[in-house]
Amino acid sequence: MQHPDEAFAKLAKLPSIDEAVQQYEQLGSQIRQELSQEIPDLTAWKDSQDSVGGSGCFNEEDGEKRHLPDYVVQKGVTDQQYEQALQIIGKMAKPIGFGDKPQRFHDSPGKHDSSFFNPRDNTTISFGTGKATVLQISVGCHLTPEAKKRGHPSES
Amino acid sequence: MVSISDIRKWNADQLEQARSEVQRELQVLTSEGDEFAGTKISEGDWTGKSSASAMAAHDKLLQQGDRHAAGLAAIVKGLAQASDAVRPLPRQINEAEELGRKYGFQVGENGDVTDTFAGKPLPPDIHPEDRERAKQEITAKLEQVVRTATDIDADLAGVFGKAGAGQYGVGQTGNLTTAAAAGTAAMALTTPDPPAGGTAAQNAAWWGTLSKAEQGAAIGATPDKIGNLNGVPAVARSQANMNRIPAMRARLMQRLKNSGSVDEIKSIEAKLKSLDKIKETMHRGNRSLLVLDDTHPRMEAAIGIGDVDGAKNVNVFTPGFTTTVDGSIKGYDSAMADLLQKENYLNRVHGGGSNAAVTWIGYQAPQADEVASSQSVALPQAAQHGGNKLAGFLSGVGVAHEANNAPLHLTALGHSYGSTTTGEALGHNTPANDAVLFGSPGEGWNKPHVNGGHIYSEQAATDYVPAAGHTSDLFHLPTSPGGPLGPDTYSDPNIQHMSTNIKANPEGGDPLAPAFGHSEYLNNGTTSQYNMAAVGSGHSELVKPETEGDRMLRDASYFTPGFMFGTPK
């Protein structure tokens, strides 16, 4: 287990949670745009309008994880289109630290679940298809703007 | 005592009509009475014997008027409250009848319950344990309807009795409007207390017999009575528990001032810190405070995320050894939020209903400094006691769904010693449909079982806690499986083992999503968490089962820690 100061120092090198959310919202938007362009079935993206919101991390005081709303197309895609979509997402996510190969949780004809993982900040991009196709981004642990400004862990 | 057939004839509208008529009479009385009081003969206006007599008669009439006005006002209030209070009763009887029709019971005119499947086989879609619970709920509803109705009847009869005996009123005031106000202010109907030691079904039935006004008053005025009551709706429990926090904090502060021993001070300080952590967790939003109990050495609490009473899929998570509210609730709430987000994702992709999750620390989880006590992590007592309480909580979730006529798929999740507590709970007749015991040192001694689904287990590489539970298996010893905390999950043939994606050399090769050791099962993005989300969201078809290769590598990990296995960072 890392010492709290060490863990804080590691998180301090990352953007604050607000900045990270902005960055990942932008990435999500670009991915959806690219998917729409390349796979015509994936055009009618709808914001799920809900999420469980934020949750704590790093002593539960100074850090925050944020679940962005899911984006949903109310139809599944073919197995071939799904593979194509994974390639697109991997290619776009790689420059900011994600592995270009996803973790494949489920694969059966017409049903797939995979996640791309960013080891820099533990953010995951989940992409699945079945009855619908969903893109989900869960932003990993980043310091709150207050903690980042403070520059050291709070006493909890 | 009133009967169900009496109550069936009760008519709230007639009570309201009677109230309206008495109110009109009261208005006439106060208006004319006050005018009459103003005509009081003053000494000097009229002197002599007949004058004194007239003044005495005037006073007497006013005294009578005072009692009548106050009595009528009390009756008006009593009728209004009774009219409001009886309205939920027929609805409760209807719900009991409806539930009876669903599960093959008939509610007779006088509330007798008969089994319409007696001597016949049950239809395949009715589970006998569900049916047994339904019968208990029907009986509880009818009992509580009679109990509340008897209370209303007695209270209203008391008001009439007191009014008839002239026991309301403020004495001679010369003002009947004031007398009527005193009658209105007097206590009329009281709300019956929750059933003593009630089950979730009885508590829910009691709550259902109260009017909205009575429920609101209970949340505001007597929150201690309902905050921890299984079967009462989550929203009401949460409001009540939040209302309890200021007084609880003040009491603890007072005790802190008067306490002398170091242990007591530490305990109170931890409870005060627990209240802070609870408030911070609640502040995350979309949360409900379902348990709040400071009467034990350590604070107990449970916090729900989402609509715990209405969501299709509800997950109740029980953590284990060293868990405290002050030290653990925020972290576990975060883990439940992550799990819920994954479940929402799965249900969007693959279809399914809404999801909710609860972090349940409603028991005294063993602590490191209790190893030598009866609360020891090596003994089943704390799990057995906690399991009884958890079973009640799970029943409350089931009953609340029945009350909302909402379908329920309930999953019990237990980690470490919390899996033993969960196993003990599942030995009772609970509405749980699935369970996941992970990092489990033993499933308890209560023969855990679920309705319709499965019990699953997860065991990660280098997690020595479950390994300790099945050393006989690990070393192929001819001893009976399991340790002091019950059979290990690997010796129970009814338990299905899910993958935690165990692989050697995690630093290189294919992208991995493994969980390692005892504390990574709920980490976001792991196969372990995915599997739990699949079970919890009702998609067990997505579960990645443990392979023989997984099992071999895991067993090898106990002998080569840190060499081939470890947490990739």
Q: What average pLDDT does range A115-132 have in this prediction?
A: 94
Please give the distance of CA B113 from its chain centroid, rounded to a whole number. Answer: 26
Give the model's pLDDT for residue B476: 53
Q: What average pLDDT does range B1-13 have in this prediction?
A: 92
Hey, of B317, B341, B359, which one would you mutate to test binding to chain A, going by the most A CBs within 10 A of its CB? B341
Nearest to A124 among B348, B525, B527 (CB): B525
* pLDDT band at residue B473 under the 50/70/90 scheme: low
Lowest mean pLDDT among A16-25, B191-200, B348-357, B514-523: B514-523
Is position A82 within any domain?
A: yes
pLDDT tens per residue across span B29-86:
988 888 887 777 666 777 777 888 888 888 888 888 888 999 999 999 999 999 999 9
Q: Is residue B549 packed enough to be buried (19+ CB in 10 Å), middle (13-18) or exposed (0-12)?
A: exposed
B264 touches chain A (CB under 8 A): no
Find out whether B300 and B277 touch, Cβ atoms under 8 Å. Answer: no
What is the chain A residue with the closest CA to B356?
A52
Cβ separation A105–B306 shorter than 8 A? no
In chain B, list all ranges with CATH 3.40.50.1820.
268-558
For residues A125 and B564, the model is more confident at A125
Question: In chain B, what residues touch A102 (CB-CB under 8 Å)?
Answer: 511
* pLDDT band at residue B504 under the 50/70/90 scheme: low
State how many domains chain A has: 1
The overall average pLDDT reported for chain B is 90
B333 touches chain A (CB under 8 A): yes
Give the model's pLDDT for residue B561: 61
What is the chain B residue with the closest CA to A118?
B525
What is the chain A residue with the closest CA to B282?
A55
Give the model's pLDDT for residue B509: 42
pTM of the predicted protein model: 0.90
pLDDT tens per residue across span A21-43:
999 999 999 999 999 999 999 99
Cβ separation A103–B511 shorter than 8 A? yes
pLDDT tens per residue across span A90-114:
999 999 999 878 999 999 999 999 9
What is the chain B residue with the closest CA to A54?
B284
* pLDDT band at residue B471 under the 50/70/90 scheme: low
CATH number of the CATH domain containing A57: 3.30.2030.20
**Strand ranges across the sheet with B455-458:** B287-293, B300-305, B355-361, B313-318, B409-415, B434-438, B455-458, B495-498
Cβ separation B348–A126 shorter than 8 A? no
Give the model's pLDDT for residue B551: 85
pLDDT at A4 over 50: yes
Is position A70 within any domain?
A: yes
Give the model's pLDDT for residue B483: 74
Give the model's pLDDT for residue B564: 58
Cβ separation A72–B525 shorter than 8 A? no
Give the model's pLDDT for residue B257: 92
ipTM for the whole complex = 0.95
Cβ separation B349–A130 shorter than 8 A? yes
Q: Which token pair is B349? A: 């992709």
Q: Which token pair is B500? A: 């935690």
Cβ separation B350–A138 shorter than 8 A? no
pLDDT tens per residue across span B171-224:
766 788 888 898 998 887 889 999 999 999 999 999 999 999 999 999 999 999
Give the model's pLDDT for residue B105: 96
Nearest to B511 among A99, A106, A113 (CB): A99
Q: What is the full DSSP assignment across B261-316?
A: SHHHHHHHHHHHHHHHHHHHHHTTSSEEEEEEE-SSSS-EEEEEES-TTT-SEEEE
Domain that holds residue A45: 4-150
Amino acid at site B100: G
pLDDT at B318 over 60: yes
In which element (H, E) is residue B355 found? strand B355-361
Measured CB to CB, residues of chain A less than 8 Å from chain B are 48, 50-57, 60, 65, 67, 70, 72, 99, 101-103, 105-106, 111, 113, 115, 117, 119, 122, 124, 126, 128-134, 136, 138, 140
pLDDT tens per residue across span B34-50:
888 777 766 677 777 78
Hey, of A52, A107, A142, which one would you mutate to test binding to chain B, going by the most B CBs within 10 A of its CB? A52
Q: How far apart are CA B57 and CA B79, in angstroms?
A: 32
Q: What average pLDDT does range A76-83 have in this prediction?
A: 97
Question: In chain B, what residues touch A64 (CB-CB under 8 Å)?
Answer: none
Q: What average pLDDT does range B481-494 have in this prediction?
A: 80
Give the model's pLDDT for residue B78: 95
pLDDT tens per residue across span B127-151:
888 899 899 999 999 999 999 999 9
Lowest mean pLDDT among A22-26, B58-62, B442-446, B492-496: B58-62
Cβ separation B524–A65 shorter than 8 A? yes
Give the model's pLDDT for residue B511: 54
Give the model's pLDDT for residue B474: 54
Give the model's pLDDT for residue B173: 62
Cβ separation A54–B344 shorter than 8 A? no
pLDDT at B168 over 70: yes
Give the model's pLDDT for residue A1: 56
Is position A77 within any domain?
A: yes
Question: In chain B, what residues touch A70 (CB-CB under 8 Å)?
Answer: 344-345, 348
Q: Which token pair is B298? A: 């350590």
Q: Is residue B379 packed enough to be buried (19+ CB in 10 Å), middle (13-18) or exposed (0-12)?
A: middle
Cβ separation A65–B334 shorter than 8 A? yes
Is position A155 within any domain?
A: no
Give the model's pLDDT for residue B569: 42
How far B553 CA lies from chain A's nearest CA (Å)?
Answer: 19
B214 three-class SS: helix
Give the model's pLDDT for residue B478: 46
pLDDT at B259 over 60: yes
Question: In chain A, what residues touch B539 (CB-CB under 8 Å)?
Answer: none
**Averaging pLDDT over each range in A6-10, A60-64, B295-299, B523-527, which range is the top one?**
B295-299
Give the model's pLDDT for residue B54: 82
Is position A156 within any domain?
A: no
pLDDT tens per residue across span B386-435:
999 999 999 999 999 998 989 999 999 999 999 999 999 999 999 999 99
pLDDT at B468 over 50: yes
Q: How far apart are CA B441 and CA B465, in angstroms?
A: 5
Q: How many CB atoms lie within 10 A of CB B310?
A: 20
Give the model's pLDDT for residue B513: 74
Nearest to B542 among A50, A106, A134 (CB): A106
Nearest to B348 among A101, A134, A140 (CB): A134
Cβ separation B513–A138 shorter than 8 A? no
The overall average pLDDT reported for chain A is 91
Give the model's pLDDT for residue B43: 65
Q: How far apart are CA B568 and CA A132, in angstroms?
A: 33
Cβ separation A124–B527 shorter than 8 A? no
How far B450 CA lies from chain A's nearest CA (Å)?
Answer: 25
Look up the CATH architecture of domain B268-558: 3-Layer(aba) Sandwich (3.40)
Give the model's pLDDT for residue B172: 65
Q: What average pLDDT does range B149-158 have in this prediction?
A: 95
Place of tokens 């209370």: B151
